[in-house]
Structure 1
Amino acid sequence: MLGPRVTMTEGQGLPVIQSDDPRYLLHLENKKRNVFVTQLGEGREDEAEEITCIPVIREPASTILDTSKNTLQKTLVLKKEVEFDDVSVQFLAKRQEFRERMEMAELRKSALATKQQDNSDKVHKFEQFVKDNNAKRRNAMQKYQVEVKQNEIKKRELEELTEELEVLKVRKKKLQKKISKYKTYEDYLIKLLYNLPENYLEPGIDAPLKAIITRHETLASTNQSLIDNLIALVDKQESSQRALATLQREHDTAKLMMNSELSQLYKNYDKIQDKNKQLEMNSNLSKGHFRYQSVGLAQLFLAVTNLAEQCYMHHYGPLEEVTLMSKLDMIKEYILEKMQVLQISRKLTERHPSVSVPKSQTQKSRAASIK
């Protein structure tokens, strides 16, 4: 069997397989093997010697070569060399593919570096553009703020001038009304001036016109003094009204403070009343408890007095003059004495069983000890 041969040429990426390599020649020997026959065939033994049996192989060649006992070492080596050549071809192909991919990666890297440089230039230009825009925006904002302030100032001035113009218009109307009102007097005075003689103002000339003028001057000065008094009185009235308003505010403030203090005093009064009620209830409870205690003490004193009468000893003096503590001591001494007598009687009975203590006496001693 003739196998391919792999050769490498410089300048080429893939190897070339040659078919005349003796290493890839596979020699198989025709060997006879026994055939198992399931039918009777007499007289076929001679024919079987001339028959060459070819086995039917259903397993792959690699499995047969690896597992067969009749496979030659040379064949296995040849198989491994073929596998090695295949792997070498694949390796060289992968290497060539890796080189091509590296070249593509280098090209992409250079393109990416160029693109990054372009992007960095664009970013730098954009940042410069943003800085310029920010500077322009700041300048525009400053200019806008200055213009807004100037507009506000101009608006205030315009409002003031408008108010002043309105006031002047009102004054003009008033003056026009006055002019129209005193126009008749003006006309009368002008006619009068035309009709007056030329020397009416010379001294020494007594004319009725001079008296009229003097009277008019007197009335004018009186009118002016009255107007001044009226203005002074108006100012005084306004100051009095302001003082009255101030006093009213102070009065309202003082009234509020007094009301708050009064409400606080009412609260304190209510608290004191509640406290007094609680104290009164506690006092009543304590009185009832004290009364109960006094009754208990009286009963206790009476019981102590009765016991003292039963346990009276002469060396304590008259019973009426003995104090409470002395009565208790007397009762104690009496009980101890009775107990000693009882103990002595018991000892006597234990020593002399024939001597018996009267039953009435033992009962009395027991009753005395219990008391």
Structure 2
Amino acid sequence: MLFWTSLILALSLRLALAQSGAEHSVTASAPQGDLLFLLDSSASVSHYEFSRVRDFVGQLVSAMPFGSGAVRASLVHVGSQPYTEFTFDQYSSGQAVQDAIRVASQRMGDTNTGLALAYAKEQLFAAVAGARPGVPKVLVWVTDGGSSDPVGPPMQELKDLGVTIFIVSTGRGNLLELLAAASAPAEKHLHFVDVDDLHIIAPELRDSITDAMQPQQQLRASEVLSNGFRLTWPPLLTADSGYYVLELMPSDKLVATRRQQLPGNATSWIWTDLNPDTDYEVVLLPESNVHLLRPQRVRVRTLQEEAGPERIIISHTRPRSLRISWAPALGPDSILGYHIQLGPLRGGSAQRVEVPAGHNSTTIQGLTPGTAYLVTVTAAFRSGRERALSAKACTAPGERTRAPQSVRSVGG
């Protein structure tokens, strides 16, 4: 009898430990972070549109885990002055957050988004607003696309502090401005959608927000070029509680590991003078006598070296048209496309043609017979850099056709 009692107790204990381990595993992988919603509450948004956005935000938070060790949320309105609807520590359950969103009122006024972003930065890192040190920070900005003040500088400050930026635009907006403001990659962090179709993107956006709150993804690389990249991480330490050591290890074992020591209030660093098309492993080591923090790692591959067109060939020259071909730029994965500009050497209006990546020729029409032109082929890279090469070309006089000619470049 004693044997069977002991066996049952042992099996019960093993089952309890297994269940405890499973529960611990779920808790460890649960998202944790401070999530701030920035809603356009100005007069540029109709009451109907605001109500649809409010429903959308409620749908986003409906399946998120809330609590002191999970997600906390705050809502800030964009208007003439920023206004906090509720702080991070005001509600501890998902239902309470949804109820607070449901009763939020539109503030009206101007669309001073830049001012609200500067205010949001304070909220995300202020203990008085319930912000927690050492957890991922996420900002979800829902806008109709316009702003009365600049958003670029305050948004970059947020990204430099390690904040992940999601943007949902229900209007047309400035594509280039929104692309620059959202975190990379844009296809994951920037959404253009009609206000009545917001519910369609809610599940995908909620998953992306959850991914951004996973602890192992705190150290991030962005602005990757052929010779460097930017690193960002949330504030894990303070200037008084410790310091960071960054280690950069290239895949080429013959190249020495680089190290950089940074103060405890640092949240970003840019590595430069790196080799193109190379894998690097980065380790962030928080050193502190106050907090025990694990190292964080990220692997980054630099882009191929950006080199512009090396040769321009002019062919099929006719009195009013000619064909331009060029040797493709190096680094095809980083090419956005080509700009072709052609103008008379002796003055006059110039033509500009856009050619997509993957193509290396185009035919220009509507030219003047017997006229010398300057042709410039510019390769545009994803990094924002450009490489150009120029050559001379001449249309045929009258209606005769000249044989193809190879033209020597006159500049680059």
Which interval holds the TM-score relative to the shorter structure? Answer: under 0.3
Instruction: Pick 1 or 2: higher relative contact order, CA cutoff 8 A, min separation 6.
Output: 2
Q: TM (normalized to structure 2)? A: 0.14
Larger % of strand: which?
Answer: 2
